[in-house]
Amino acid sequence: MVSTSEQLSQKIADKTAKVGVIGLGYVGLPLLQAFIRSGFDTVGYDVDQSKVERLLAGESYIKHIPSDWIAQWLAAKRFTATADMHRLSEADALLICVPTPLNESRDPDLSCVESTSRHISAALRPGQLVVLESTTYPGTTRDVVLPILAESGLTLGQDFFLAFSPEREDPGNPDFSASRIPKVIGGMDAVSRDLAVALYSPAVVKTVPVSNCEVAEACKILENTYRSVNIAMVNELKVLFTKLGIDIWEVIEAAKTKPFGFQAFYPGPGLGGHCIPIDPFYLSWLARRHEMPTRFIELAGEINASMPLYVVEQVVEALNDVGKPVRGSRIGVLGAAYKKDVDDPRESPSFKLMELLIERGAIISYNDPHIPVLPSMRHYRVPRLASEPLTAEYLASQDCLLVATDHSAYDWDFIAKHARLIVDSRNATARIAQRCKNVRKA
């Protein structure tokens, strides 16, 4: 008699297995593209009915994910989307790509993972592989997801299979699409791992099997903590070097000419995106549960969290130098996305910068070519502003422009020509700063 795992393995091998992706956002849509391009039929699940309707109409709602992708998926009959979680049983593999934010006390908020797991458990049938991709702390797959799936009455390793494979998306980076990034995979057992490896292998450039889910979960946390700590170091050095009259950006450019032992990290107005500002706190939370300090991680978090205030102080000082108080000054923030050339505002430091400036009495406006209206953010009290057109009149009307995101669309010569004062936290004006007296680095 052929076992359930053997049946699923054969379906994966001949690409008759249907791949379901739960959470159709910055991770889920590129993942669908990778599987569709490799020959699998797919179904996308999302609780947001408006997203489902736009996808079924062939429309993308994420700037760097072209609508052409969606239209091609639909035309080839390789894709459908639904908000009906009763249809989770249709897919042979279910890949969970839902948010894992922090709560108000900066502890892990796994409510989306738990809710998704309950939906899967209610629909789970023999022969399904479940893979958690959402970034989380080591132990989540075993201690949170597995017990919920077990409520189905089915048996792990016999009826269903469970693995963890962390997402590694870099939104807006055309050099690293989902299919071109190696995939780390850990299973709850060897069968689950091997099935997940077989599933991902046709869709990605390389699979990296590890011994268990905890190693795969810890791998993702390590990657982002590494970046957080190193960004904190250059942020701290930026503050020191500024006091010494040294340009941190020039220092980094010189240092990265060393062909070994150095990797360039860059300072900024604070951390943004879903990963770096959040993931290290998952690890520090886990350490507290085991009565261990994580001083490196927590110190890096403190330094990075302090950068918006440092930048605002630079704005205040720059205004003072031209005889203006921040209260009543018109300040235009350039960029609301957390990184250049994307429409992703998640955890963007721009919101904290605006909040701090508003608290000091500034009159705030903003421009972002990728974000026409500021979304409501649960952690920040910022008005729901619309992006101002970047005209000569608008630029001249602002007492100060604060560069928060260095989008490629910005014409820095035009901006500098018409602006009264520019405070640049991204080194975006490096090419023109020497000849423009109205530019100040922050």
* Catalytic residue numbers, as ranges: 275
Q: What is the DSSP string of 200-250?
A: HTTTSS-EEE-SSHHHHHHHHHHHHHHHHHHHHHHHHHHHHHHHTT--HHH
Beta strands in 300-399 (DSSP E): 330-334, 363-367
Within 8 A by CB and 6+ apart from 67, the residues are 58, 59, 60
Q: Could you give the CA distance from residue 9 to residue 12 in angstroms, rounded to a whole number?
A: 5
Torsion angles phi and psi, residue 381, rounded to 5: -100, 85
H helix or E strand, kind and range, residue 424 = strand 422-424
Edge to edge, the sheet with strand 330-334 lists: 363-367, 330-334, 400-403, 422-424, 439-441
Place of tokens 């423009």: 436
Beta strands in 17-147 (DSSP E): 18-22, 41-45, 79-82, 93-96, 128-132
Q: Could you give the CA distance from residue 88 to residue 82 in angstroms, rounded to a whole number?
A: 10
Strands 363-367 and 422-424: unpaired
Q: Could you give the CA distance from residue 420 to residue 439 in angstroms, rounded to a whole number?
A: 9
- C-alpha closest to that of 404 among 308, 265, 324: 308
Strands 330-334 and 363-367: parallel
Residue type, 314: Q
Kindly tell me the burial class for residue 155, based on how many C-beta atoms sit within 10 Å of its own C-beta (0-12, 13-18, 19 or more): exposed
User: What counts of helices (H) and strands (E) characterise the chain?
Assistant: 16, 13
